Structure 1
Amino acid sequence: MTAPVLVAVAHGSRDPRSSTTVRALVDLVRERAPGTDVRPAFLDFDHPGLTDVLAGLGDRPAVVVPLLLGSAYHARVDIPAIVAATRPDVPVADVLGPDPALLDVAAERLGELGLTPGDPGLGIVLAATGSTHAAANEVVHRLAARWPGTLAGFATATPGIGHAVARLRAQGAERIAVASWFLAPGRLLDRVHEQAGAPVAEALGAHPAIADLVITRYRRALTSHLLRAA
């Protein structure tokens, strides 16, 4: 039996660096899941769109895996609506976050700056996009709490990056660094750089641990779907 298609759907961006990173991650997933047809899709700005990818599959079985770090509007509304309108038989996997593997990758990216959570005198901002969905922001706050001397900050929500940096300095941090809770580079991460006034780690990117997490989400969604259908 041929494995269902893995449709990896990202938000999409006007910044080509984002698309390049997403496609590199999809290539890595293909390498680590031999025999599985893995296809990229986007919600906005980039092509192919999720609707077109799903429609192009005909009646082939598939699983949609959101390449999203949080369960905000795109995960809760946009993707389910597109799937329901195009291929309602296709299961949608959980978002990637807040799996501990992602936080490990964020720490690894921070390590590329020569810094480690818990370093004496180091204050860290765990920087994320931010959402109008408070529960999605709270997840980032909980993740930040796992590292000593770390606060969450958001590019498009409160507390902003500058506010988080100021709080860390008020708490006695001698040095500040920013860890990225972004899958790919783009305009929002550029905004973090502008607001931080401190070293900023690279986006999580096309990392083997993230590719493996995509595959895990795919397999879990497929198993749950098959059990429900049995």
Structure 2
Amino acid sequence: MAERITPREGVPTLLAVAHGTRDPEGTAAVRALLERVRALRPWLPVAGAYAELAAPSLEEAAARIDGPVVAVPLMLARGYHALVDIPGRLERLCPEAVVAGPLGPHALLAAALADRLVPGGGFAPSGGGPPRRTDSVVLGAAGSADPAGLADVRAAARLLSRRLRRPVPYGFVAAGGPALADVVAAQRARGAGRVVVASYLLAPGYFHGRMRAAGADRVSAPIGAHDALARLILRRFDQAVFQSPGPGARLAART
């Protein structure tokens, strides 16, 4: 059984809540990411949980924490889990808890995505070197039924485009559109040397498998345990602490 977390007086616990996956590589990636967060701020108590599919659940993790809680959804865009599910469940569990905004879009994520496209950037993609100027880079995302989530992915593609100094279209492997396979095919039809997908995912799992099946020449690994992502988690935590409007499991402002 996991130990209870009892922080120093006045120090809230950062409760990182990932979507969840049945893939053990996915949960291992989340654990490794949270170890990066702890290494950056050793005095801060950090706990992990999942919204679904994996343990510990949000309820199990929250029950082990004594004192104030600031939840950081490990979601790359707005959507049901970040805006409705996690705040609603926490309000029932910890009425004084605060929920930070989702992680993306953000320039730190673009930096991590660019790093994953280069062999040696942690989780190196398979096959070939970094994208050439004749290649097409496509941002691959899971998708969302929430228009705000789709807008966040469009913004993430613009940030990656700015980082790489080349156009970066985007596509989805689940809800929303355009479909990633269609975008990959369109780039190939336009004469791209290779089509490379930048995986806009936190960890391995079902959606990364869908991306690998979309017909691209290369698919980068998910962002995973990257220092830029760890710094962004702490930034969202700090924003929630300093911008919280008061008690209750409410969403903190996001900038």
- TM-score over 0.5 (shorter chain): yes
Confirm or deny that 1:150 pairs with 2:168.
Answer: yes
2:130 alignment counterpart: 115
TM-score (norm 2): 0.83
Written as runs of structure 1 = structure 2, the 5 A alignment for 1:205-220 is 205-220=224-239
TM-score (norm 1): 0.92
Tell me the distance in 2 between the aligned counterparts of 1:224 and 1:84.
Answer: 18
**Change in CA separation of 1:171 and 1:192 when aligned onto 2, cut-off 3 Å:** same
Q: Give the stretch that moved more between structures: 134-143 or 101-110.
A: 134-143
Confirm or deny that 1:134 pairs with 2:147.
Answer: yes
Identity of aligned residues (%): 36
2:5 alignment counterpart: none
Written as runs of structure 1 = structure 2, the 5 A alignment for 1:24-43 is 24-43=32-51
1:74 alignment counterpart: 81
Structure 2: runs of 5 or more not aligned? 1-8, 120-124, 248-255
What amino acid is the match of 1:26? L
Residue by residue over 1:42-71, the C-alpha shift from the partner in whole angstroms, topping out at 9 and shown as x without a partner, is: 11111111112223324x111101111011
2:199 alignment counterpart: 180
Give 3-state SS (helix, strand or coil) of 1:97's partner: coil
What amino acid is the match of 2:78? S
Residue by residue over 1:199-230, the C-alpha shift from the partner in whole angstroms, topping out at 9 and shown as x without a partner, is: 111110101111111111111111123x747x
Confirm or deny that 1:47 pairs with 2:55.
Answer: yes
Residue by residue over 1:126-147, the C-alpha shift from the partner in whole angstroms, topping out at 9 and shown as x without a partner, is: 0010011122112222322341
Q: Is the 8 A contact 2:139 2:169 kept in 1?
A: yes
The number of equivalent residue pairs is 225
**Change in CA separation of 1:5 and 1:142 when aligned onto 2, cut-off 3 Å:** closer
1:102 alignment counterpart: 109
Confirm or deny that 1:61 pairs with 2:68.
Answer: yes
1:20 alignment counterpart: 28
Q: Is the 8 A contact 2:78 2:152 kept in 1?
A: no
Tell me the distance in 2 between the aligned counterparts of 1:142 and 1:173.
Answer: 23
Written as runs of structure 1 = structure 2, the 5 A alignment for 1:195-206 is 195-206=214-225
What amino acid is the match of 2:235? T
Give 3-state SS (helix, strand or coil) of 1:28's partner: helix
Residue by residue over 1:155-195, the C-alpha shift from the partner in whole angstroms, topping out at 9 and shown as x without a partner, is: 10321121011221233322211111001011110111012
Q: Whose helix proportion is higher, 1 or 2?
A: 1
Q: Is the 8 A contact 1:13 1:45 kept in 2?
A: yes
Q: Is the 8 A contact 1:129 1:155 kept in 2?
A: yes
Tell me the distance in 2 between the aligned counterparts of 1:34 and 1:165.
Answer: 42
2:189 alignment counterpart: 170
Tell me the distance in 1 between the aligned counterparts of 2:216 and 2:237.
Answer: 39
Structure 1: runs of 5 or more not aligned? none
Give 3-state SS (helix, strand or coil) of 1:111's partner: coil
For residue 149 of structure 1, report the CA deviation from its aligned partner.
3.0
Tell me the distance in 1 between the aligned counterparts of 2:18 and 2:144.
Answer: 16
